Structure 1
Amino acid sequence: MYERPAGIENSRIWIDGCFDFAHHGHAGAMLQARQIGRELFVGVHSDEEILHHKGPVVMHLDERLAAVAACKWSTQAVPDAPYVTAPWFIDKYGCQYVVHGDDITTDANGEDCYQEMKDLGRFVVVKRTPNISTTDLVGRMLLMSKEHHFQPIKESLTGHPLFTKQEYLDQFTTYASDASGLRPGSGVYVHLGGKQESLHELVAPSDATKQLYDTVFYIDGTFDVFHPGHIEALRVVKERAAAAGAAVVVGLYDDWVSNHTKGLNYPIMNLLERSLCVLQCRYVDGVILGAPSSATPEFFALFPGKVAHVFSGSAESPHPAVAAISVPIGPHKYDNINTSFIVTRVLDNRAAYEERQRRKGWKASHEAQLKDQDAS
């Protein structure tokens, strides 16, 4: 049902959503939509529309637009898209087909948001990314759970689920693809510590990206709940790197290091989720999993090129051993946003988000019934 029409590869595709916490599930949908068409326009619902149909947002419209625009598979982010997808609206942007995951999304009345598009034969299904949603992430914040964390990365890839499960390896490769979603793009590496410190190549970069690696602009951190503060910082670094013909490489701390530093149940997103969020960003040319929290010249010597600058959000370098090449990012539009700020937003509105969680449970049951009807 809803098979891909002939010639869709030459069409402009539409996809829409809330994109609240722009997580890798959202990016996965945009990736699949981009792979089947020529261009991808992404509609983003207003705060008011989401409140009416679903519940309160965590991230406001301008913040959610920034996240969508930063996804390398989006051609254009479109604000104030109607919650119930309307042909007249997507026609304004020259979009022939709308893409959505293989689940059902309903409005405040329990009606299928895409029914009209389905009736017109302009609806295409892609696979929904399992085990991730904004509701899941809000739940982790409210419940303070840590079951999602992965074990530390040590001296070998052997036995670590991130590097032994084919499903995860396929995701690294897919999310590292270029702006078309069809060809190689970014490189993915794993830092292994111990006496024989090394950098293992998990996904090879494209030839064009490999050339950029001659000069590297490095930035590291947890990048938890990938948000506009991260995105704007990466945009600033990418702008400077592009002027120098350099690559932007992001070092990601593993879950153990992040939790040891911040405590409680941080990181809210595990290393897999955080790495996929960073990889989908158009301002990133490479990712290092399990990067050390204190960078050293010995670590940088493992890189495929010379590390020219190390960027950070603070005026004082967090890496004393490489302070000579450290550069502060400086003030930017979203430098007031960090992960703790977002968690505080959720906890300060706990009652409203708990009601959203309960409402989601009812809607999930109803949407499952509609999905069964749709398939029959």
Structure 2
Amino acid sequence: MVHYGHSNQLRQAKAMGDYLVVGVHTDEEIAKHKGPPVFTQAERYKMIRATKWVDEIVEGAPYVTTLETLDKYNCDFCVHGDDITLTVDGKDTYDEVKRMGRYRECKRTQGVSTTDLVGRMLLLTKSHNSNVVSRLYSSHTDNFGKGPKGHSPWTGVSQFLQTSQKIIQFASGKEPQPEDTIIYVAGAFDLFHIGHVDFLETVHKQAEKPYVIVGLHFDQEVNRYKGKNYPIMNIHERTLSVLACRYVSEVVIGAPYTVGKDLLDHFKVDLVCHGKTEVFPDTDGTDPYTEPRKRGIFRVLDSSNNLTTDDIVQRIIENRLQFEARNQKKEAKEMAVIEALKHKEDSLKTEAALVNN
């Protein structure tokens, strides 16, 4: 997958240098070393290109990073998160560059991983996790608005904790200029994927100098019109996912569902766009785009990409057994490495104690 954890890694990597080259593996390489990929290589190439800290991508980059690869693309060093990456036979994929001092590490984003997101999607097939209303008022809920252990009652299992600092790091911080065309779009943007990227790119092309504002609905609102166990990502996760996209200038966190007069006037909106997906009525049955239609600033766009969040979830469900096996295998492999490192550390401590004695 490509998620905000990856975007945060790319942001940190870019801060370490001047020009960021991102190597993206093929489907074949990922299937060999990690299990089936969720997004295709073509989707991943385009999504990484759309991440605002990326200067260049290398398609089909080798799974094991070598000095030869770094030199080929004129890179001084490579960057990876502080999590473990192993080949199919359990070897560190960055062993060579680490030994030669051409490796840097950045902090992994706590509370999210591909394994975690796949697990969340698999929960969509569990009956105990589908009835949001009963979970809200059940005895297992700490209080209204929080699920077990403080998790969102709508996303159920998210462990991501948002901070103002993280939003500042992801946001561009640029104010709209007088010559800019203010374009507003709204939605869930759940499990941010290539369908969203293609739509936002199409929105961005609607003006010579676009300033694209994305209104993100709260989890409760998304669940109202999407149902099931949606959204899979909570409002904070969706905020970072959208902010990482180079076609977006600003995000409204918890935007009102109806795009009314106050919102349009406050942001001085010139154009309101929506994709070809269905427009659900507001709670009172009214069209949420009545005001922009009346002003003649509403535009339906066709990005020629019909991929939806439902489609992504369906990919996971269709390959459920493979993904469950992938998650278990990855966890077992990582635990084995952690145990080996712990054993090595304990041995060094024992040796040091013997020397001191």
With the length of structure 2 as denominator, give the TM-score of the two structures: 0.81
Q: Contact between 2:33 and 2:87, CA under 8 Å: does it hold in 1?
A: yes
Q: Contact between 2:176 and 2:182, CA under 8 Å: does it hold in 1?
A: no
C-alpha distance in 2 between matches for 1:308 and 1:103: 45
C-alpha distance in 2 between matches for 1:150 and 1:310: 31
Name the residue aligned to 2:310.
340
Where do 1:1-376 residues align within 5 Å?
Answer: 20=1, 22-144=2-124, 145=129, 148-149=151-152, 168-176=163-171, 185=172, 205-206=173-174, 209-211=175-177, 215-241=181-207, 243=208, 245-303=209-267, 306-314=268-276, 319-323=289-293, 324-332=296-304, 335-369=305-339, 372=342
Following TM superposition, by how much is the alpha carbon of 1:315 offset from its aligned partner in structure 2, in angstroms? 8.3
Paired residue type of 1:350:
R
Q: How many residues align?
A: 310
Matched position secondary structure for 1:125:
strand
Following TM superposition, by how much is the alpha carbon of 1:338 offset from its aligned partner in structure 2, in angstroms? 0.7
Q: Contact between 2:192 and 2:238, CA under 8 Å: does it hold in 1?
A: yes
Distance change >3 Å, CA 282–CA 370, structure 1 → 2: farther
Give deviations 1:163-213, integer Å, cap 9, x for gaps: xx8x5111111111xxxxxxxx2xxxxxxxxxxxxxxxxxxx33xx33268
Give deviations 1:35-82, integer Å, cap 9, x for gaps: 010100000111011111010011000001111000000111211111
Paired residue type of 1:149:
S
C-alpha distance in 2 between matches for 1:369 and 1:64: 33
Q: Contact between 1:44 and 1:77, CA under 8 Å: does it hold in 2?
A: yes
Matched position secondary structure for 1:136:
helix
Q: Structure 2 unaligned runs (5+)?
A: 133-146, 280-287, 349-357
Q: Larger deviation: 125-134 or 82-91?
A: 82-91
Q: Larger deviation: 75-84 or 139-148?
A: 139-148
Matched position secondary structure for 1:347:
helix
Distance change >3 Å, CA 92–CA 370, structure 1 → 2: farther
Distance change >3 Å, CA 360–CA 300, structure 1 → 2: same
Q: Contact between 2:198 and 2:303, CA under 8 Å: does it hold in 1?
A: no
Q: Structure 1 unaligned runs (5+)?
A: 1-19, 153-161, 177-184, 186-204
Give the RMSD, CA atoms, in angstroms. 2.4
Matched position secondary structure for 1:219:
strand
Name the residue aligned to 1:13.
none
Following TM superposition, by how much is the alpha carbon of 1:374 offset from its aligned partner in structure 2, in angstroms? 8.8
| Higher relative strand content | 1
Give deviations 1:96-122, integer Å, cap 9, x for gaps: 101011122111011111001101110
Asked which structure has the greater CA Rg, the reply is 2
Q: Contact between 1:151 and 1:256, CA under 8 Å: does it hold in 2?
A: yes
Following TM superposition, by how much is the alpha carbon of 1:314 offset from its aligned partner in structure 2, in angstroms? 2.4
Matched position secondary structure for 1:311:
strand
Paired residue type of 2:60:
D
C-alpha distance in 1 between matches for 2:178 and 2:19: 26
Distance change >3 Å, CA 151–CA 298, structure 1 → 2: farther
Q: Contact between 1:106 and 1:367, CA under 8 Å: does it hold in 2?
A: no
Following TM superposition, by how much is the alpha carbon of 1:367 offset from its aligned partner in structure 2, in angstroms? 3.5
C-alpha distance in 1 between matches for 2:118 and 2:83: 20
Following TM superposition, by how much is the alpha carbon of 1:336 offset from its aligned partner in structure 2, in angstroms? 2.0
C-alpha distance in 2 between matches for 1:371 and 1:68: 33
Determine what percentage of the aligned residue pairs are the same residue: 40
Matched position secondary structure for 2:206:
helix
Q: Contact between 2:23 and 2:60, CA under 8 Å: does it hold in 1?
A: yes
Following TM superposition, by how much is the alpha carbon of 1:301 offset from its aligned partner in structure 2, in angstroms? 1.8
Q: Contact between 1:251 and 1:288, CA under 8 Å: does it hold in 2?
A: yes
Following TM superposition, by how much is the alpha carbon of 1:316 offset from its aligned partner in structure 2, in angstroms? 8.2
Following TM superposition, by how much is the alpha carbon of 1:369 offset from its aligned partner in structure 2, in angstroms? 3.6
Matched position secondary structure for 2:336:
helix
Distance change >3 Å, CA 213–CA 286, structure 1 → 2: farther
Distance change >3 Å, CA 218–CA 118, structure 1 → 2: same
Matched position secondary structure for 1:307:
coil
